[in-house]
Each structure stands twice: as C-alpha cells, then as structure tokens.
Amino acid sequence: MLTQLQSNAVIALGGNLPFLEGTPEVTLRQATKRITELGILVRRKSQFYRTPCFPPGTGPDYVNAAIRVETQLSPGALLHVLHDIEHEFGRARKQRWGMRTLDLDILLFDDLVLPDQDTFDRWHDLPIEEQVCATPEHLILPHPRLQDRAFALVPTRDVAPDWCHPVSGKTVSQMCAELPEDTVAEVVVL
C-alpha cells in the first residue's frame, strides 16, 4: 500500500477584531483547533504576540501567531481549507490589509517556490505602494514579504527557526536578526 507523503508548512494566524463573543486570542485558538479537526497535524505552536495594526493607526493592534503543520494536502488545497476556516470565523475579504477577525496565510511549504521563480521574484520586488492594491492571481510561496515582516517572522521563529528560505538561503532566525531592532521590538509577547 502506498502512503501519501506528509509536507511541512508554516501558517501565520492573525486578527484584530473580535468574533462573536471572543477576543482575537480566542479566535486564533479556535482556528487552530479547527485546523486539526480537518486532519491537518499541528506540530508546533508559537506564542501569541501583540503587533501594531498596519498601516499604522488604521485599527486596533493585531494578535499574531504561527503554527507548523504536517499535511497531505497540496499548497492550493491547504489554502482553500484556510480560506474556508477564515469564512467560518467571519472573515470578509473587502479590503487588502484591512482589519479582520481572522487571517490565515501559508508562509512556507516545504522548500517550494510557487508558482515559479519569476513570479516569486516579481512579487518579492514589488514596491510597497503597488502591494497595497495588487492581489496575486496564484498562491506565491514562500510568502514574498516574509523577510520584511516582524509580525510574521517572530512567531515563525518560534516554530521553525532553522527553516531555510529556498531563494535567499537564509534561515528564519537569520532573517529575524536582519530586521530593524525597533520593528522587532513592536512584536510583544502576550
């Protein structure tokens, strides 16, 4: 009998709006539980972190975390499951980088670069003013802004410090160390 190989992925969790009666921390815990209920094995969980809303001043602070998972799903199938979970928790996709009850993003998936190196490079190098209004047509992995975002990197360091970026060759710990100190200081353990 053939067994399907398990892949490793890191999923970022975030939110800054309450859902029903729950705080963002409660939502992240419940979303993690829901992920496991759908057959995705959670191997490690980060601490919860409070991070400033982006862009600054546009809403309440976020709660961010990361989980390392094992799954038999493809990256696209995993993304579909995560979008379904976001919807279950009241996520409305009205505005890019807006306030939300739950945000689930695949940051890393094995050592894959998707959909291809050229697309990854184009999104990696996209100027910030274009990022605000542009939405990729395909899942891009690793997340093209991972190395720039303390709110994603710091929790990822909790669950996959030695994961090596397939394009830059740097580990998550190395990328964290290269962030400006003031940016990392804004990511506060709850």
Catalytic-residue membership of 158: no
Catalytic-residue membership of 103: yes
- Return left, alpha or beta for 39; rule: phi > 0 is left, psi -120 to 50 is alpha, else beta: left
Question: Given 68, 91, 149, 157, which residue is catalytic?
Answer: 91
Question: Given 103, 149, 157, 158, which residue is catalytic?
Answer: 103
Question: Given 34, 50, 68, 100, which residue is catalytic?
Answer: 100
CATH architecture of 7-189: 2-Layer Sandwich (3.30)
Domain ranges, ordered by start, for the chain: 7-189
Burial (CB < 10 A; 0-12, 13-18, 19+), residue 148, is middle
Catalytic-residue membership of 111: no
Each of the 190 residues of the chain gets a pLDDT tens digit; together they read: 455 678 999 999 999 998 988 999 999 999 999 999 999 999 999 999 999 986 677 789 999 999 999 999 999 999 999 999 999 998 775 655 567 899 999 999 999 999 999 988 888 888 877 766 667 778 999 999 899 999 999 999 999 999 999 999 999 999 999 999 999 999 999 9
Catalytic-residue membership of 148: no
Tell me phi and psi for residue 69, to 5 degrees: -125, 160
Q: Is the pTM of this model over 0.85?
A: yes
